[in-house]
Amino acid sequence: MSTLLEEINSPEDLKRCDPYQLPQLADEIRKTIIDFCTSYGGHLGSNLGATELSIALHYVFASPEDRIIFDVSHQCYTHKILTGRKSAFCNPEEFGSISGFTCRNESPHDHFDLGHTGTSISLANGLALARNCMNQQHRIVAIIGDGSLSSGTAFEGLNCAAQVKGQLLIVCNDNEMAIDENVGGLYTNLAELRATQGSSAHNIFRDLGFDYRYVEHGNTISALLATFNSVKELNHPVVVHIHTKKGLGIQDAGIAGVSEGHDPNNHWCNPSYQRNSVPGAHSTQRNARWVYGSMAMKSLLDRFEQEPALVVISPATASSNGISHEFRQRAGKHFIDVGIAEEHAISLACGIARGGGSPIVATSSTFFQRAYDQIQQEMSLNGSAVTLLEFASGISDTDVTHSGTFDIPLLGNIPELTCLAPTSGKQLLDMFAWASGPARKPVLIRMPGEDVLAYERAAGVVLSTDEAVTQRAAEPSAPSDLPSQSAQSAESARTLHPWSRYRTVHEGSGVALLGLGNAYPLACDVAHILRKLSASKLSANQSLMLDISDPTIIDPQQYSTLDTATLNRLHQNHQIVVTLEDSQRNGGWGQRISAYYASTAMRVMSVGADMAFTDRVALSELKRRYGMNADSIAAQLCLLATQECNSRGI
């Protein structure tokens, strides 16, 4: 660590520096962030572009009494370094000890846990109103990037914030880039403001009622200090529009290896030991989002010419989900990026569907949460023929704001929405072709995750993005045991589709393992353990092993309806049904099955996640905590089987 940064552990220490020293401090912090992201991974470009901004804000304002709110908080690393958390970025032994986002539990300088976009202005608006009501005098600053401004929430916040009484500063950090490219008319206006040094008569901020300042050199600390000091005492809302460079410093000499470890837009840098998993890198070992997302996109290319209104819609972050730059170029008008506006993406898709088109909306599980109203109302209530590709669902070791644990209870209980859970790339492509083609109904496809990808790779299935589509010819076609419509007497005609019935992969007895989607490999692993037990230490107790030695394995394929025909059939020679899902157990799919069996003698064991927020907990620990590992489940089944035998006097 260099000399100047060594002496700074708080904003008070920062204020002891002379202004002429601050550029040196910015260089030291920037080098620290690059070293940290290179070694451990993290949000790189946004933090490098906001280094001077964070220094200037803490130099002029008095945090934490003055509230500084970072939108999304992709750009909060310098803020954390200046507010007592420096060692987490400088000491390798402490890497990962703090969140990559603002976090209330870490510091009084962090006022919210934030990881989703567009909320800072509304939050600052609320803080200002509370301050005014209690006759307090502190200042409030909201920092929002130009990419986040496309969020509908940001527009709503701007509309109301302009009418706030008293001080309110909104800093628009304009680096001309979001995670992917910015799109929409708003950015035409921002470009015009940049081109005219903020003097254009066309100014969205002034039109909304804000006082306005423009800083062309947003990575120059002296310019920022002068501007922030000039607006600090203003008693009305003001927007300071600063022009910065995302990823500033990446190309500097002596920073070897970074270019191979970050994405093309400088958003994220993987650690050196995970370089091969970077989307876009030359590697066959890409993550599940990229592998299955790119498979789905490639399957559309041959359809575009014959289906003019077949379109893929991404509310930003397209590259995170296998929607490559190459695909976007080839798709042309068949791809639409609406910016970080999930609600608009769903409503737009519903309009396209009503006009006869076939829209597909692809984004993360936690982003679909923000569009729940549109999914329920415009999409499902109206029967709109929209296909949702839901990525990053299920339990994970991610930060608390990006956990996909809640999707099945949230979205799986919406009427008229068909929710599919493929357990292989082949099944995904078949489901996707149906959903985006002949289905003409609301469909959600829960994209396969890392466990399914690992299971397929272990089975020798070729899943590189270059070979993904060609593997379809080598794999078996859709399940041959699909029932006739007459077999679905418990389901209304409107719910029927090729995957309405659960697929029985192996017919056994005693215990039935129902592994939904990403939990299907877990069901197979449990079955394998039980079979091994039957041939070894439990073989002496034949009466016990009648119950668990040959478990039935079922791939449910969907979680929007119950396949009551299959559930009823299990009564014939099963005593225990195990439901496995990598989502919150409360209100989930397994509890629906448990409720169905409630009045019968069938015993149900529902395995899933607890109803809890988790922040960067290791996946192995979460699985242990939730009992979602094969050994634990097998042990519980042995106990249940013993209890079952004892109850029968065997």
H-only helix segments in 135-183: 152-161
Check residue 527 and give its pLDDT: 95
SS3 at position 578: strand
Is the per-residue pLDDT at 465 higher than 60? Answer: no
Give the confidence band of 266 by pLDDT, cuts at 50, 70, 90: low
CB-based contacts of 98, cutoff 8 Å, min separation 6: 80, 85, 88, 106
Residue 590 DSSP SS3: helix
Three-state secondary-structure class, residue 443: strand
pLDDT of residue 398: 84
pLDDT in tens, 171-216: 999 998 766 677 778 889 999 999 999 999 999 999 999 999 999 9
Residues with Cβ within 8 Å of residue 417, at least 6 apart in sequence = 375, 379, 380, 411, 442, 443, 444, 560
Task: Judge whether 225 and 59 are in contact, CB under 8 Å.
Answer: yes
pTM value is: 0.81
Give me the half-sphere count of Cα atoms (radius 13 Å) on the Cβ side of residue 55. 32
Region 459-479: mean pLDDT is 50
**At 586, which amino acid appears?**
N
- SS in 3 state form for 312-372? EEECCCHHHHCCCHHHHHHHHHHEEECCCCHHHHHHHHHHHHHCCCEEEEEEEHHHHHHHH
- The structure tokens listed for 134 are 């209690």
Which residues 6+ apart lie within 8 Å of 310 measured at CB? 300, 303, 304, 334, 357, 358, 360, 436
Q: How far is CA 475 from the centre of its chain?
A: 30
Q: What is the DSSP string of 13-46?
A: HHHTS-GGGHHHHHHHHHHHHHHHHHHT-EE-HH
HEC string of 215-239 equals ECCCCCHHHHHHHHHHHCCCCCEEE
Examine the pLDDT at 464 and tell me if it is beyond 70. Answer: no
Average pLDDT over residues 510-536: 92
Give strand pairing partners of 553.
Answer: 506, 513
Give the pLDDT band (50/70/90) at residue 615: confident
**Band of residue 280 on the pLDDT scale cut at 50, 70, 90:** very low
Burial pattern 225-263, b for ≥16 Cβ within 10 A else e, equals bebbeebeeeeebbbbbbbbbbbbbbeeeeeeebeebbb
Task: Return the structure tokens found at 285.
Answer: 């070992």
Other Cβ atoms within 10 Å of 377 Cβ, number: 15
Q: How far is CA 282 from the centre of its chain?
A: 24
Q: Is 32 or 461 the better-scoring residue by pLDDT? A: 32
Q: Is the dihedral of CA 629, 635, 638, 639 positive or negative?
A: negative
Q: When comparing pLDDT for 643 and 469, which is higher? A: 643
pLDDT for the residue 3? 83
pLDDT tens digit sequence for 293-348? 999 999 999 999 999 999 999 998 888 899 999 999 999 999 999 988 899 999 99
Which residues face 141 on adjacent strands? 68, 169
Q: Which residues contact 484 (CB under 8 A, 6 or more apart)?
A: none
Q: Are 142 and 171 in contact (CB under 8 A)?
A: yes
Per-residue pLDDT tens digits for 116-164: 888 999 999 999 999 999 999 999 999 999 989 988 889 999 999 999 9
CB within 8 Å of 445: residues ≥ 6 apart: 387, 388, 389, 390, 420, 422, 428, 431, 432, 435
Torsion angles phi and psi, residue 613, rounded to 5: -85, 135
356-396 pLDDT, tens digit each: 999 999 999 999 999 999 999 999 999 999 999 999 999 98
The more confidently predicted of residues 217 and 474 is: 217
pLDDT of residue 286: 75
Quick one: what percent of the chain has pLDDT higher than 90? 71
Whether the per-residue pLDDT at 481 is higher than 70: the answer is no
370 or 493, greater pLDDT:
370
Q: How many residues does this entry show for the chain?
A: 650
Average pLDDT, the chain: 87
Class of residue 473 by CB neighbours under 10 A (exposed 0-12, middle 13-18, buried 19+): exposed
CB 448 within 8 A of CB 294: no
Q: What confidence score (pLDDT) does residue 114 get?
A: 87
Contact 292, 322 (CB under 8 A): yes
